[in-house]
């Protein structure tokens, strides 16, 4: 499987997760001749020891902006998974000249002034309650989808950590309005009853400027369907 031209994929990962969760995608990207960069946000993954009550969406956007700046990344394929869609949208707004295109994978797609909680009202009460019952400012991880293998559940459970609630509460401020960058949306069709991302599937199917695709997978195809995800990503960037 060879690509037409090597790309640099930069992943804005999901909540409770971190760069480590993209482990299965590295060999696939490498085999295809691409570079995959999967930084972890402050307070998550191998940076869990840096968690503090003030961490918010802006901090995670800044994490990614610093990677772009210090690694001098250009012509980036910016990937946002789940909560990472909030982060990626902010990143693209700040350094659009560095981004070639955006790919949202079963992700939140905020408009200016929206927080993740604005886009996920069904879950707010439960998440606030979970944070209250925990240490007041962190939400314990959500359960993994039922089709996740036992080995992967064990791998994920050992590594996922609590999520600072401010990351979900803070409203994204776009400095340049809605982006005109090429954007693709991958909707994972093995949905939960809540179908959190159905709203974005509907929107991106109908809205100009989007390419809409589906994957027969649950919410984290980087874990449960890496090969299928790789095929789709290749198709998008080809």
DSSP alpha helix (H) spans, 53-212 = 57-70, 84-94, 116-119, 121-133, 150-159, 166-169, 198-206
Output the six-digit token pair for 144. 């993994």
Q: Which of 156, 163, 109 is nearest to 135 (CA)?
A: 163
- Residue 228 contacts by C-beta under 8 Å, 6 or more apart in sequence? 215, 216, 217, 221
Q: Would you please indicate which residues are annotated as catalytic (active-site) residues?
A: 82
Check if the beta carbon of residue 38 is closer than 8 Å to that of residue 64: no
Measure the CA–CA gap between 231 and 159, rounded to whole angstroms.
27
Burial class of 72 by CB neighbour count within 10 A (0 to 12, 13 to 18, 19+): exposed
The phi, psi pair for 212, rounded to 5°, reads: -110, 130
Output the six-digit token pair for 160. 């996922």
In angstroms, how far is the first alpha carbon of the chain from the final one? 12
């Amino acid at each position: 499987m060879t690509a037409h031209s090597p790309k640099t994929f930069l992943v804005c990962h999901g909540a409770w997760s971190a760069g480590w969760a993209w482990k299965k995608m590295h060999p696939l990207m490498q085999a295809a001749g691409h570079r995959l960069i999967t930084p972890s946000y402050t307070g998550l993954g191998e940076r869990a020891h840096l968690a503090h009550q003030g961490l918010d969406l802006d901090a995670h956007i800044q994490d990614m902006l610093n990677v772009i700046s210090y690694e001098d990344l250009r012509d980036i394929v910016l990937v946002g998974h789940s909560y990472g869609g909030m982060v990626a949208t902010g990143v693209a707004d700040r350094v659009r000249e560095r981004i070639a295109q955006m790919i949202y994978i079963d992700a939140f797609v905020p408009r200016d002034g929206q927080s993740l909680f604005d886009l996920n009202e069904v879950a707010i009460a439960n998440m606030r309650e979970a944070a209250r019952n925990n240490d007041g400012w962190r939400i314990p991880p959500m359960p993994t989808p039922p089709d996740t293998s036992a080995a992967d559940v064990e791998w994920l459970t050992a590594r996922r950590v609590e999520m600072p609630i401010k990351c979900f509460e803070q409203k994204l401020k776009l400095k340049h309005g809605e982006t005109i960058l090429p954007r693709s949306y991958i909707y994972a069709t093995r949905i939960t009853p809540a179908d959190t991302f159905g709203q974005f599937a509907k929107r991106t199917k109908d809205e100009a400027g989007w390419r809409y695709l589906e994957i027969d997978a649950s919410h984290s195809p980087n874990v449960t369907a890496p090969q299928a995800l790789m095929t789709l990503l290749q198709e998008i960037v080809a």
